Amino acid sequence: MHELSRVNVARTRVLVTGGAGFIGTHCCVALLEKGVDVVVLDSLINSELNAMRRVEEISQSKIHFVEGDVRNTPLVKKIITEHNVDSVIHFAALKSVSESIKSPLEYYDNNVVGLISLLQAMQETNLCKIVFSSSATVYGVPDRVPITEDFPTAAINPYGYSKLMAEQLLKDVAKSGEWSIGVLRYFNPVGAHPSGKIGENPKGEPTNLMPIITQVAAGNREKLLIYGGDYPTLDGTGVRDFIHVVDLADAHVAALRHLYANRGIRVLNIGTGRGVSVLELISTFKEVTGVEVPFEIVARRPGDVAECWADASLSNQVLGWKAEQSIEAMCEDAWRWKRDNPLGFAD
């Protein structure tokens, strides 16, 4: 048994910023199931309040929800004090690479200034435990796979830079005092809660692969465009490390346990350790759902890499956590969410 399994998170109070979003909602379910008291701060810029109600339905527990912006430092301080918060999980950010190229200032403001505001509020209230959502994008174009945490970092767009800047900020802050910080570099989160009640519901055009696959499957768009069929991979399409969002949510509970037991900063890959090509994902989707996903292979997109998958052994070892769910489950759950909720969270 892993040493962290003895750390009890029940009845601790966690502030989840961006808790109404895709990963945040699944994380709230995982926390509530462990008896954690959850406070969500979300501006709803990319989510809907109904998502919180669905989380309450699944977990049969109440959430304290505050609509507001993480850049509002006095508000964050007030929440931390009023709710006696023990630790923070920081999801709130903007996440589209293409939008970040069009609106870099908005991205730096939200993702970097937002983190500074949160850390200031934490420092002023003597709160020092935080889990941060980083991304495999910080590896830029990796030389080889699998990727370990000591690979060089690089960014190729403002979104990537905002995550790298945030990581640097956290490393510097960790040196300045008694902080406990977990930086989780997610690979490619997909899937949805098996209940079919919550899932990825981007406002506007999705830029991630799975929501586009499910939109094509549902007949909302004609076909999927696959960028690049001539990569040096087994079938020529890009290879990624798809991880079920429920596994990802569990990694946050494990990271919290780690923070409650350790000081300093830990940077960890959160992936399955297995690469799956875009074509493999599409054929698995068809196999498990019986629904066809028409596609067309077009030219590569600048900035995309051939292969990006994690060596997840450090997070397995440090957190006593491992991604368990199959590609089949990821496809099945993503489709159930889309099929049962054609209008997203609107009832």
Ligand X SMILES: NC(=O)c1ccc[n+]([C@@H]2O[C@H](COP(=O)([O-])OP(=O)(O)OC[C@H]3O[C@@H](n4cnc5c(N)ncnc54)[C@H](O)[C@@H]3O)[C@@H](O)[C@H]2O)c1
- Residues near ligand X (CB under 6 A): 17-18, 20-24, 41-47, 69-71, 91-95, 110, 114, 133, 135, 186, 189, 208
- 47 or 214, CB closer to ligand X? 47
Residue partners of 274: CB distance under 8 A and separation at least 6:
241, 309
Q: How far is the CB of 290 from ligand X (least distance, A)?
A: 26
Question: What is the DSSP secondary-structure string of 108-152?
Answer: HIIIIIHHHHHHHHHHHTT--EEEEEEEGGGB-S-SSSSBPTTSP
CA-CA distance, 96 to 98, in Å (whole number)?
6
- 47 or 315, CB closer to ligand X? 47
CA 201 to chain centre: 13
Q: How far is the CB of 281 from ligand X (least distance, A)?
A: 14
260 carries an active-site annotation: no
| CA dist 172 → 159, 175, 279 (Å) | 20, 5, 41
| Closest residue to ligand X: CB criterion | 21
Residue with tokens 């008694």: 178
Q: How far is the CB of 182 from ligand X (least distance, A)?
A: 13
Spot the catalytic one: 107, 108, 139, 159. Answer: 159
- 205 or 230, CB closer to ligand X? 205
CA-CA distance, 255 to 131, in Å (whole number)?
7
- 22 or 231, CB closer to ligand X? 22
Nearest to 272 by CA among 319, 305, 311: 311
Active site residues: 159
